[in-house]
Amino acid sequence: MAATILVAAVLCVPSPATAQTLPSGPIRANDGRLLVSGEVVATMSDTDNIAFFNYTDYEHNALRLFRFSLSGAWQPVRRLAFVGELRTEDLDRPEAYAAYIRFRPWIDKGLDIQAGRIPPSFGVFSRRAYTTDNPVIGYPLAYQYLTSIHTDAVPALAEDLIRMRARGWLSTFPVGNRTPGPGVPLVSAFRWDTGVQAHWKAGIIDATGSVTAGTLSDPHSNDNNAAPQVSGRFSVEPSTGLILGVSAARGAWLSKDVTQLLTSGADGNDYTQTAWGADAEYSRDHWLVRSEMVWSRWRTPLAASAPQGIDIDALAIWAEGRYKLTPRLFAGLRLDHLGFSKIQTSTELLTWEAPVNRVEAAIGYSIQRNLTARIGVQRNDRDAGRVHGRTYLAAQLAYWF
Partner 1 sequence: MAATRLLRVWLAAALSMMALVAPSAHPDQRPPVPARRAATGTIRGNVDFKVPPVERERRVNPAELGMSPARDSGDRRRSVIYLDPAPRGAFDAREEPHARLDQRDESFVPHVLAIVAGTTVDFPNNDRTYHNVFSLSKTRSFDLGRYAAGHSKAILFDRPGIVRVFCDIHSHMSAFILVFAHRYFAVTDEEGRYHIDNVPPGSYNVVAWNEAMALDSRRAAIPEGGGDIELSFLFEKR
**Interface with partner 1 (CB under 8 A), residue from 114, 148, 296, 372:** 114
Q: Which is nearer to partner 1, 98 or 164 (CB)?
A: 98
User: What are the Cα distances from residue 10, in Å, to 6, 7, 22, 255, 267?
Assistant: 6, 5, 11, 42, 52
**Could you tell me which stretch among 72-80, 141-149, 211-219, 305-313 binds partner 1 (CB under 8 A)?**
72-80
Query: Is 284 a residue that touches partner 1 (CB under 8 A)?
Result: yes
Question: Judged by CB under 8 A, how many residues of this single chain contact partner 1?
Answer: 51
Q: Which is nearer to partner 1, 287 or 344 (CB)?
A: 287
Query: Is 232 a residue that touches partner 1 (CB under 8 A)?
Result: no
- Among residues 52, 250, 50, the alpha carbon closest in space to that of 148 is found at 52
Q: Which is nearer to partner 1, 83 or 184 (CB)?
A: 83
Q: For residues 383 and 349, give the distance between their C-alpha atoms in angstroms, rounded to a whole number.
A: 14
**Could you tell me which stretch among 34-42, 58-66, 294-302, 308-316 binds partner 1 (CB under 8 A)?**
34-42
The distance of closest approach from Cβ of residue 304 to partner 1 in the complex, given in angstroms and rounded to an integer, is 43
Q: Which residues pair with 98 in a beta bridge?
A: 85
**Interface with partner 1 (CB under 8 A), residue from 57, 85, 193, 218:** 85
**Could you tell me which stretch among 42-50, 236-244, 258-266, 332-340 binds partner 1 (CB under 8 A)?**
236-244
Q: For residues 40 and 62, give the distance between their C-alpha atoms in angstroms, rounded to a whole number.
A: 14
Query: Is 26 a residue that touches partner 1 (CB under 8 A)?
Result: yes
Q: For residues 273 and 313, give the distance between their C-alpha atoms in angstroms, rounded to a whole number.
A: 10
Query: Is 45 a residue that touches partner 1 (CB under 8 A)?
Result: no
Query: Is 174 a residue that touches partner 1 (CB under 8 A)?
Result: no
Query: Is 144 a residue that touches partner 1 (CB under 8 A)?
Result: no
- Spell out the residues 6+ positions from residue 195 whose beta carbon is closer than 8 angstroms to its own: 115, 118, 210, 211, 212, 213, 228, 229
- Supply φ then ψ for residue 3, to 5 degrees: -65, -40
Query: Is 76 a residue that touches partner 1 (CB under 8 A)?
Result: no
- Among residues 267, 266, 293, 265, the alpha carbon closest in space to that of 279 is found at 293
279 close to 290: Cβ distance less than 8 angstroms: yes
- Among residues 313, 315, 143, the alpha carbon closest in space to that of 217 is found at 143
Q: Which residues bind partner 1 (CB under 8 A)?
A: 25-26, 28, 32, 35-37, 71-73, 78-79, 81, 83-85, 97-98, 100, 102, 104, 110, 112, 114, 119, 126-129, 197, 199, 201, 208, 239-241, 283-288, 324, 326-328, 366, 368-369, 400-401
